[in-house]
Amino acid sequence: MRAYRCSVCNYLYDIQSADLDVEGNPIPFEKLPDDWKCPICGIEPDLFIIVESDRTPDVPAK
């Protein structure tokens, strides 16, 4: 999953910090609700920038 960084407070939205849907799966940034805002500074998703996450997805290897 692509990661996004808040351009104001540097909050990172990625697989590790993503909001979870009703089934407990991470919600991709692109699929966040329209009223979603940065949990730290409250800006809109428009002001997030795409970054390459260097964190490893927390998924068991097969």
> Which residues bind to Zn ion, rule: CB under 5 A?
6, 8-9, 11, 38, 40-41
Q: What is the 3-state secondary structure (H, E, C) of the chain?
A: CCEEEECCCCCEECCCCCCECCCCCECCHHHCCCCCCCCCCCCCHHHEEEECCCCCCCCCCC
Nearer to Zn ion, 11 or 36 (CB): 11
Nearer to Zn ion, 18 or 38 (CB): 38
Q: How far is the CB of 54 from Zn ion (least distance, A)?
A: 19
Nearer to Zn ion, 9 or 31 (CB): 9
